[in-house]
Amino acid sequence: MGQDVRDSATPSRERETAARRRARTLAERYRRFDEVDAAGTSPLYERVAVALSESGEALRAIEAVPARKRHPTLILAALHDLALAGRAPVLAAAYAAADGDAAAAAAIDTLRRMTDSVVAIAVRRQPRGNETGRCAVLYPAIAEAARRVGANAVGLIDVGCSAGLNLNVDRVGITHR
């Protein structure tokens, strides 16, 4: 009755279970990227993110990247860098053709073959949040202001963030009083 009964799991089994849990969480991040971030804006990246989330090989390769750099945007950017540099020509061709299935297969293959390169690129890259989409909420107000001064159309132009600006209004001047 005084016998201590312990879990019979060996340290290697515990490590294996922890690795499966990490892979599941990582897969969930890539599925979420597909469902939320890329949804409706990039069918190609939607397809690639789903494929990465479903590939054990891809997830193992991504786990070689430091945890804080495993975000889908960084891994996809690293893959894109390799394609643009001519180091992943099959991936580059799939991207150029906007072929989601071919891009998905090529992304997995590139991650598998070039894990060290993907890690090196992802480690040095910084995610960027400078996108004009976040300024879209201003469009109705700008369009109304333009309509009031007689313009029937207005365009929004991204001028970059180097000056701290994201948005200029095309052909309409607005003076605030």
CA distance 72 to 50: 11
Please tell me which residue, 146 or 55, carries the higher pLDDT value.
55
Determine the pLDDT at residue 35: 80
Q: What is the mean pLDDT of residues 75-90?
A: 96
CA distance 74 to 143: 35
